A and B are shown apart, each in its own frame.
Chain A
Amino acid sequence: MNENIEKIKSFSESVAKIKAELAQDVVGNKDVIDSVIIAIVAGGNVLLEGVPGVGKTRLVRSLGRVLSLPFSRIQFTPDLMPSDITGTNIIEKDDAGKLNTVFRKGPIFANLVLADEINRATPKTQSAMLEVMQEHKVTVGNNVYTLDEPFFVLATENPIEQDGTYPLPEAQMDRFMFKLIMKFPEVDELEQIVAMTQKTMEETANAVVDGKAILDMRALAATVPVIPEIMNYTMRLVANTHPERTASVAAAHKYVKYGASPRAAQALITAAKVRALLKGNYNVSYEDIDELAFPVLRHRIKTNFNAGNEHLSTDDVIKLLIKETRAQR
C-alpha cells in the first residue's frame, strides 16, 4: 500500500521531470507541452495546429527521447497510401528459396507517431489512421496486429496552406483527444530557440521515464475520484454543445452547428484525472474540466454562421458554453 502511495505521490515528480527535459529542446508553449503529456498519460491522441517551424516535430521527437519510446514520423502527402502507414504484405524468399508472404510493418508501428501535415493526405489514407488511433490495432488482410502500448499519435496540420488539403472527417477528428494550438513564440522565446539551435539541431533531452511508467501513471490516474457533481457538470457541458437539444444553453443554439460526441465526455473526464494528478491534486475539480474543455471540444464542435458573423472563435463559443453551463448549477 505504501508503495502505491509513493507512486501516486511521485506522479507529479515524474511529470515535472518530463517537462524539465522537454524544456531543453522545446521553448515556450508550456501549455501545449502540459496538454501533450496529459494526452499521452491519458492514452489519447493529439492534433497539433500551428504554423511551420514552431517546434511541432521537435516536440514529438524530444518526447520520444524523454519517454524512451520508439518514435516514427509520417509525412502526409496527397500520394501517400494507407499501406505506407500501416505496412504491407510482401513476398519474400526464405533461405530455402521458398516464397512466403511476410508482413512488413509500416511507420505506425511505433509508440510515438508524428503524423505530419495529416490533412495533406487523401481521405482514404487518413481513414487508415482511424482503427489505429482508436483501437491501437492494424488490420492487414486477414491479420490483426496489435500495437505496443503506450501508443500515441501526434498529428499536425498547417492552418495556412489550405490548397491541396483534405479536411479531416469528423470521425477522425473525434479520435483526437485534444486539438492543441501552437502559438508563434514570443521574441525572447524566439531568441532562445535560435540560440539553442546554433549549438546543435539534435534533441538533447534525456530519458526520464519509460513506457511502463507511462502505463502505470495511466492506471493511477484512472483511480482519481470524481464527485458526482463534477461528473454531472461535465456531461451537461458536452450535452450543451448540441444545438438540437432543447435543454441546451443559449450559446449552443445561437453559435453551434453541431456538437461534440460522447467521446468528448470520456476524454474530458480521463484527461481531467491526469491533469489533477499533474497539478498535485488527488481529485478532479471544475477548473480541470473547464481548462480541458478547450482542447477537448474545439475540434469536436463546429460553429455556425452566427459565430463567424460575430467574429467568435470556437474557443470563444466554448467559453460561453462553460459560462452558461456553470450558471445552470
Chain B
Amino acid sequence: MNEGFEKIKKRHLVDTVIKSILIALSLGAFVFGAMLLIFKLLIIDFSPAYHLLISVGAAAICGVVCFFLLHKSALALARSLDEEFALGEKVQTMVRFKDDRSDMLALQRENAEETLKGIKTKKPIAKRFASALICLALSVCMLLPAVIVPRGVEEAPPPPPFSFTEDHEFAMNMLIEDIESRDSFNTETRDAIVAELRSLIDRLKSTHTLDGMYMNVIASIVKVDALVEEISTYKTVCVAIDKSENHDMKLIARSILNLQGYEFGGDLGDIRENYKGDTLDPKTNEVILTLTEKLSSLSTELVTKLATLTDYESETLTVGLGTFAAELASALEEENANKQQSLIDKAFENVSREVGEELTAQWNAKDARTDVISRLTVVFEIPKSMIPPLLGDALPTLSTSEGEGGSGDDTENGASGGYGEGNELFGSNDLIYDPFSEDGAKYVLYGEAYDDYYKTIEAILLDESVSTEAKEILREYFRKLSDGTKKN
C-alpha cells in the first residue's frame, strides 16, 4: 500500500539531501568568496586554514539547517501534493489514516494511489533544484570576482622623519674639534676622518628620514673604521712573526698586540729576562753559546719573516723590528760579554721605544676611531644592532701555543672566514653580536655575521634617501670584507 506515495517520499528525501548539499556548497563558496574579497579589499592577512575552516563550518551548518528546513514530514508532503495538484485532500487523508484498516479507508487509499498514479509528480531537474542552482550561481558570482580581484596594495607607512638640529651640529663640531686636536697619530688619517665628519654634516642636512640618517651615520662610521684600519699594521706584522716556530717570536707578536690593548699574554720582557747578563757568565760557556744561538736564530727569523711583508718594509713597525733584529745580530758578534750584554740591552731598549712609539701612534688612531664611533652612536642614537662588524674590532689569529708554536692553520682561533685571505685571517672565529641572524639577535662567529650584515646593508642600500657617497662607502667596505683586500 501507499507505494506511489512512498516513492514520492523517497524521491523527496533524495532531492532534499541533494538540495541541502548544493545549497551548503553554495553557501560555503559564498562565504569563502566574500571573506576572500573582503580581506583582499581591506588588505587583511588571514590564515588560509582558518579561511577554509570557517567556510567548511558555515557550509556544514547550512547543510544541516537546509535539510531540516526543506525536508517535509509525510503529512506535510501529502499536504503539498494535495494543494499543488488539487487532489481534494486525498493524500492527506491517506497519510493521516494509514493505520486504519476499515473498508472505507482501504478504498480511500486505493483511490488516493490511483489519483497519484494519474498525475506527474516528478518535475524536471531544473525545476526541482531551481533554488539550489540559484544559490550555486550566486556563490559563483561571489567567488569569481573574489578570485579575480587583486589584493589591495597596502600603503607603506611614511618613513620616520629626521631633521638635523642645532644640537646635532654642535655635537658634530665638538667631535671634529676633538679629532683635530689629537696630534699623536697619522695626520693624513686625522684629516680624512675630519673630512668625513664634515661630509657627514652636509649629508645629514639634506637627509629627512630616520633611515637615511642611520645609513649616512653608519657609512661614516664604516669609513672612519676603514681609514684607521688603513694605517694599522700591527695585525699583519703580528701574524707574520706569529708564523715562526720560535717561541720568542710569538712573544714579540703578543707584545705588539698587548701594546694595542688586546690581551694575548706575553711581553717582550720575557725575552729580555732570558738574555740577562747573569746568564752570560763566562763560566757557563755552554749556556752562553745556547743563548747566543737563540738570539741569532731570533734575529734571523725576525728578519726573514718581516722580509715577507713587502708592503710594510718602509713602515715604522716593520723597520723597528728589523732594526731590533739587526742590533741583536750585531750584539752577538761582540766577543766581550759585558759589551755584548750592553748591546743586547740597548737593542731591547731601542725596540721597546721605536716599536712602542709606533704602536702608541696606531693605538691613538684606534682610540680616535673608537671615540668617533661611540660619539656618533650616542649623538644620533644609532641602535648598536645596526652597526656592522668593524674592521678595528677584529682580532688577528694568533697561535696560543706557548711551546713549539705552529702555523696559522693550527691556531686556536681557526683559519677560515673573516677578514683577510689564506692564513691571514682576522677573528673569523671570534664571537660578535649579530642582530640580523635568522634565529634572532645573538652572538655568532664573525664569519657568519658577515653575510647577515651584508644582506641587511644591501637592502638598505636601495633606500633612495641614502646618499650615493654613503652607499659607495658601504659597498666598498663590504667588498673589502668579502675579498680580504686590506689595501685598495
Residues of A in contact with B (beta carbons under 8 Å apart): 1, 4-5, 8-9, 220, 223-225, 227-230, 281-287
Q: Determine whether the beta carbon of B104 is less than 8 Å from that of A223.
A: yes
Which residue in chain A gives the minimum CB-CB distance to B88?
A285
The answer for the CA separation of A286 and B90 in the assembled complex, in Å, is 11
The answer for the CA separation of A230 and B112 in the assembled complex, in Å, is 17
Q: Determine whether the beta carbon of B105 is less than 8 Å from that of A227.
A: no
Given the interface pairs A225-B96, A228-B96, the reply to whether A283 lies near B90 with Cβ below 8 Å is yes
Q: Which of B83-116 contact A (CB under 8 A)?
A: 88-90, 92-93, 96-97, 100, 102-108, 111-112
Can you give 26 contacting A-B residue pairs, CB < 8 Å? A4-B103, A5-B106, A8-B103, A223-B102, A223-B104, A224-B104, A225-B96, A225-B105, A225-B108, A227-B89, A227-B92, A227-B93, A227-B96, A229-B89, A230-B89, A281-B90, A282-B93, A282-B104, A282-B107, A282-B111, A283-B88, A283-B89, A283-B108, A283-B112, A285-B88, A286-B89
Which residue in chain B gives the minimum CB-CB distance to A223?
B104
* Set of chain B residues within 8 Å of A224, measured between Cβ atoms: 104
Looking at the assembled complex, report how far the CB atom of A60 sits from the nearest CB atom of chain B, in whole angstroms: 30
Q: Determine whether the beta carbon of A281 is less than 8 Å from that of B88.
A: yes
* Set of chain B residues within 8 Å of A4, measured between Cβ atoms: 103
Which residue in chain B gives the minimum CB-CB distance to A220?
B104
* Set of chain A residues within 8 Å of B93, measured between Cβ atoms: 225, 227, 282-284
Max count, chain B CB within 10 A of own CB: residue among A1, A227, A283 = A283
Q: Determine whether the beta carbon of B107 is less than 8 Å from that of A229.
A: no
Which residue in chain B gives the minimum CB-CB distance to A226?
B93
Q: Determine whether the beta carbon of B89 is less than 8 Å from that of A1.
A: no
Using A282-B107, A284-B93 as known contacts, list a sample of 11 further A-B pairs with CB atoms less than 8 Å apart, ordered by residue number in A: A9-B107, A223-B103, A224-B104, A225-B93, A225-B96, A225-B100, A227-B89, A282-B108, A282-B111, A283-B90, A283-B93
Which residue in chain B gives the minimum CB-CB distance to A279?
B88
Residues of B in contact with A (beta carbons under 8 Å apart): 79, 88-90, 92-93, 96-97, 100, 102-108, 111-112
Given the interface pairs A225-B97, A227-B96, the reply to whether A285 lies near B89 with Cβ below 8 Å is yes
Looking at the assembled complex, report how far the CB atom of A328 sits from the nearest CB atom of chain B, in whole angstroms: 16
Top 8 nearest A-B pairs (CB, nearest first) are A282-B108, A285-B88, A283-B93, A223-B104, A285-B89, A4-B103, A227-B96, A282-B107
* Set of chain A residues within 8 Å of B107, measured between Cβ atoms: 5, 8-9, 282
Which residue in chain A gives the minimum CB-CB distance to B104?
A223
The answer for the CA separation of A228 and B96 in the assembled complex, in Å, is 9
* Set of chain A residues within 8 Å of B89, measured between Cβ atoms: 227, 229-230, 283-286
Quick one: which of B88, B92, B106 contacts A287, CB cutoff 8 A? B88
The answer for the CA separation of A228 and B89 in the assembled complex, in Å, is 11
Max count, chain B CB within 10 A of own CB: residue among A229, A282, A284, A286 = A282
* Set of chain A residues within 8 Å of B102, measured between Cβ atoms: 223
The answer for the CA separation of A282 and B92 in the assembled complex, in Å, is 12
Looking at the assembled complex, report how far the CB atom of B139 sits from the nearest CB atom of chain A, in whole angstroms: 35
The answer for the CA separation of A62 and B88 in the assembled complex, in Å, is 32
* Set of chain B residues within 8 Å of A284, measured between Cβ atoms: 89, 93
* Set of chain A residues within 8 Å of B111, measured between Cβ atoms: 281-282
The answer for the CA separation of A283 and B92 in the assembled complex, in Å, is 10
Q: Determine whether the beta carbon of B92 is less than 8 Å from that of A225.
A: no
* Set of chain B residues within 8 Å of A282, measured between Cβ atoms: 93, 104-105, 107-108, 111
The answer for the CA separation of A286 and B79 in the assembled complex, in Å, is 12
The answer for the CA separation of A128 and B102 in the assembled complex, in Å, is 41
* Set of chain B residues within 8 Å of A285, measured between Cβ atoms: 88-90
* Set of chain B residues within 8 Å of A287, measured between Cβ atoms: 88
Looking at the assembled complex, report how far the CB atom of B88 sits from the nearest CB atom of chain A, in whole angstroms: 4
The answer for the CA separation of A4 and B96 in the assembled complex, in Å, is 22
The answer for the CA separation of A287 and B89 in the assembled complex, in Å, is 9
* Set of chain A residues within 8 Å of B104, measured between Cβ atoms: 8, 220, 223-225, 282
The answer for the CA separation of A283 and B89 in the assembled complex, in Å, is 7
* Set of chain B residues within 8 Å of A228, measured between Cβ atoms: 96
Which residue in chain A gives the minimum CB-CB distance to B101?
A1
The answer for the CA separation of A220 and B107 in the assembled complex, in Å, is 12
* Set of chain A residues within 8 Å of B96, measured between Cβ atoms: 225, 227-228
The answer for the CA separation of A223 and B112 in the assembled complex, in Å, is 17
The answer for the CA separation of A117 and B340 in the assembled complex, in Å, is 175
The answer for the CA separation of A9 and B111 in the assembled complex, in Å, is 11
The answer for the CA separation of A8 and B109 in the assembled complex, in Å, is 14
Which residue in chain B gives the minimum CB-CB distance to A221?
B104
The answer for the CA separation of A287 and B86 in the assembled complex, in Å, is 10
Looking at the assembled complex, report how far the CB atom of B115 sits from the nearest CB atom of chain A, in whole angstroms: 9
Quick one: which of B79, B90, B92, B103 contacts A5, CB cutoff 8 A? B103
* Set of chain B residues within 8 Å of A225, measured between Cβ atoms: 93, 96-97, 100, 104-105, 108
* Set of chain A residues within 8 Å of B88, measured between Cβ atoms: 281, 283, 285-287
Which residue in chain A gives the minimum CB-CB distance to B92?
A227
The answer for the CA separation of A269 and B314 in the assembled complex, in Å, is 133
The answer for the CA separation of A9 and B106 in the assembled complex, in Å, is 12
Looking at the assembled complex, report how far the CB atom of B83 sits from the nearest CB atom of chain A, in whole angstroms: 10
Which residue in chain A gives the minimum CB-CB distance to B94?
A283
Q: Determine whether the beta carbon of B103 is less than 8 Å from that of A1.
A: yes
The answer for the CA separation of A281 and B91 in the assembled complex, in Å, is 12
The answer for the CA separation of A285 and B90 in the assembled complex, in Å, is 8
The answer for the CA separation of A223 and B164 in the assembled complex, in Å, is 107
The answer for the CA separation of A57 and B96 in the assembled complex, in Å, is 43
* Set of chain A residues within 8 Å of B97, measured between Cβ atoms: 225, 227
Looking at the assembled complex, report how far the CB atom of A219 sits from the nearest CB atom of chain B, in whole angstroms: 11
* Set of chain B residues within 8 Å of A8, measured between Cβ atoms: 103-104, 107
The answer for the CA separation of A9 and B96 in the assembled complex, in Å, is 22
* Set of chain A residues within 8 Å of B103, measured between Cβ atoms: 1, 4-5, 8, 223
The answer for the CA separation of A281 and B106 in the assembled complex, in Å, is 12
